Structure 1
Amino acid sequence: MSSGLSSIDKSTKHYATQSKSASYGLYMIPGENEFQLLFSRYYQSWGSNAPSEDDIVLKVSVNPMTIDGREWLSYDFIERGSKSLTAALQWDTVSVPFKIAYDVNKIVVDNARAELKGLAGFGQGYNQAASYCLRNDYNLEEAMTWIDQSIGAGKSFQNLSVKSGLLAKQGKKEASDEVMEEALTMANGNQLNQYGYQLLGAGDAKGAIEIFSMNIKKNPDHPFIWGFTDSLGEAYLADGNKKMALKYYKEAKTKAPEGQYAYLDGVIAGIEAM
């Protein structure tokens, strides 16, 4: 079985034993009430030859489950998640499931380090790697080094906003605000709108109102001006100001394509009914 195992667990029991990414031979030994799973360092061995204790890198016990009858033996992934998945041997009325968990952040950052030594280090790679670390609150010290390398190759809204976020994580609010102020001067309409929603998502409705208002003034002829205006209405509504929210939702309708009228009419009616 080829696997990048970091841990295996069954129901509420977690196995702390870890195994490096590699290829393993998988053996399942049935018992009266549970199956013993053996992961061997030799994945090319013939199935009838059980591994010796020296060959085994991981050993766990799991409880089988009863399923509808299956004529053919199969190995399936019966549950998939962002940080783990559950594999299972299934045959006849027996299923032998085991969970494989993986450290996504470590995998992504390790891959980023390797890729930044190649072509990725000449484009947006440093910014993308630092941005990932910021979003996931992981490897922040190295992320600051990466974003400084990105900025050194040329300032942009993207890399300056990431640096602002990393400075905020360090508790350096004044420095963070200063860098963000510079970033905003380079932002296009879509970037300003996205940043406003970041503030709104963080509970800063007044900050979002400021950014959305700036965007409308800065980009009055943008093809998506109706959407920017809609965003300002949403921010006012989140701030509890229904009067201003109605004003900007109605203004958004005057700028919107006909396909958006039903949506905006629904929002306006909902506010008026509050």
Structure 2
Amino acid sequence: MKKITALFLLCSAISWAQALTVGNEGNNKRASVSEQIGLAKITIDYHRPGVKGREGKIWGTSVAHYGLQDLGFGTSTAAPWRGGANENTTISFSENVKVEGRDLPAGTYGLHFILGETQDTVIFSNRSNSWGSFYYDPKEDALRVTVQHRAMDKSVEWLKYEFIDQTENSATVALMWEKRLIPFKIEADVNAIQLAHFKSELRTKPGFTWQAFVQAANYCLQNNIELDQALAWADEGINARFVGQKNFQTLCTKANVLFKLNRTAEAEKLMDEALPMGQVFELHQYGRQLLAAKNPKKALEVFLYNYKKHPNEFVTNVGAGRGYSANGEFKKSIPYLEAALKQATDDVNRDNLKNMIAQAKQGKDGN
């Protein structure tokens, strides 16, 4: 009886010990890597097996087998490789994405690989909480894509995932281990996702300020997308109940959208209304914006209006000098630029002004 009791206690102790959380299981390091494509967050959670002296004996062996195999455990008799160690390697997407050009909804997926001599199949399984690939079921596949792996010059000791070849709208996930790299490209419709978030957030606390509507409209302007929606948001910034305000920023934002829509007369009328509300830097930036839009005559009007409101200040002297120079009136520009040079407090501005003055004296526009 004592032996039975002792055996029971020993087994109970082992059972409890196995239920505890540990760090690296079987010397396989835990790891997680994340990246964002716009607002789309991608996270991969995995364990990192080591090469441990097995160079040349990883791929196509029992370590990382080719094809589908019966691993002798679990319910799967045709299991892919788990792309790591221990539990499922998982990949999560906060937004809908495309993988190798094919749609994949937001969610968390088990990540598996059918390895081959020259190419591999990457599997995204709707089941993400199994142990390894022992319970893999193809009926639970959300997506399969085929990719070409490639050789690396240097061996990677501990398996890792990295994000490479990044652009504003995409990134490539690269599984690297030993001397092999397995890539798959992920793309997100950054602008569509951003606009969807704007539309949702503007119905919550952030939408209780006119600044939020201006921000959303300006995003559309900067990316030249959904200009009708941008105009609606700009209107909300001015007129929304309890929120809208008629000020330089809101009127200027709406005017900029109208300019973009080639409704120039409406835009200019709105800016004429906005000018008296503008602060010195706001008016200066508007003048610079007009210069960039190749409208030097209107820019000069704005710069001189700003100078009249704020005479002989550094910013307004620079503006008047730029405005006259852009219109080819170089002799008139020089006194303003020289006055600004005396007021400049840093070397960058001093050097820029010296260059503009030198250009003006040669009859050249220094803008």
The TM-score normalised by the length of structure 2 is: 0.64
Distance (Å, rounded) in 1 between the aligned partners of 2:329 and 2:278: 27
Q: Which runs of 5+ in 1 are unaligned?
A: 10-14
Residue in structure 2 matching 1:256, options 344, 352, 367: 344
Structure 1 match to 2:192 = 106
Following superposition of structure 1 onto structure 2, how do residues 1-274 of structure 1 map, counting pairs within 5 Å?
1-3=91-93, 4-9=95-100, 15=101, 17-49=102-134, 51-67=136-152, 68-123=154-209, 124-152=211-239, 153-220=244-311, 225-238=313-326, 242-257=330-345, 259=347, 260-269=349-358, 272=361
Whether the 8 Å CA contact 1:27–1:50 is kept in 2: the answer is no
| 1:18-40 alpha-carbon deviations (Å, 9 max, x no partner) | 12222222222221212211222
The TM-score normalised by the length of structure 1 is: 0.84
The CA deviation at 1:72 is 0.5
Distance (Å, rounded) in 2 between the aligned partners of 1:65 and 1:244: 65
Distance (Å, rounded) in 1 between the aligned partners of 2:308 and 2:150: 62
Amino acid at match of 1:28: F
Structure 1 match to 2:35 = none
**Greater Cα offset, 95-104 or 78-87:** 78-87
SS in 1 for 2:104: coil
Whether the 8 Å CA contact 1:229–1:251 is kept in 2: the answer is yes
**Greater Cα offset, 248-257 or 188-197:** 248-257
The CA deviation at 1:218 is 1.8
Change in CA separation of 1:171 and 1:269 when aligned onto 2, cut-off 3 Å? closer
The CA deviation at 1:242 is 4.6
Change in CA separation of 1:248 and 1:112 when aligned onto 2, cut-off 3 Å? same
Tell me which protein shows more helix as a share of its residues. 1
Amino acid at match of 1:130: A
The CA deviation at 1:220 is 1.9
Distance (Å, rounded) in 1 between the aligned partners of 2:207 and 2:144: 41
The CA deviation at 1:73 is 0.4
| 1:120-177 alpha-carbon deviations (Å, 9 max, x no partner) | 1111222222222222222333333322222122201111112122233443322222
| 1:49-79 alpha-carbon deviations (Å, 9 max, x no partner) | 4754442222222222322211010111123
Aligned residues: 265
RMSD of Structure 2 on Structure 1 (CA): 2.6
The CA deviation at 1:266 is 4.2
The CA deviation at 1:182 is 1.1
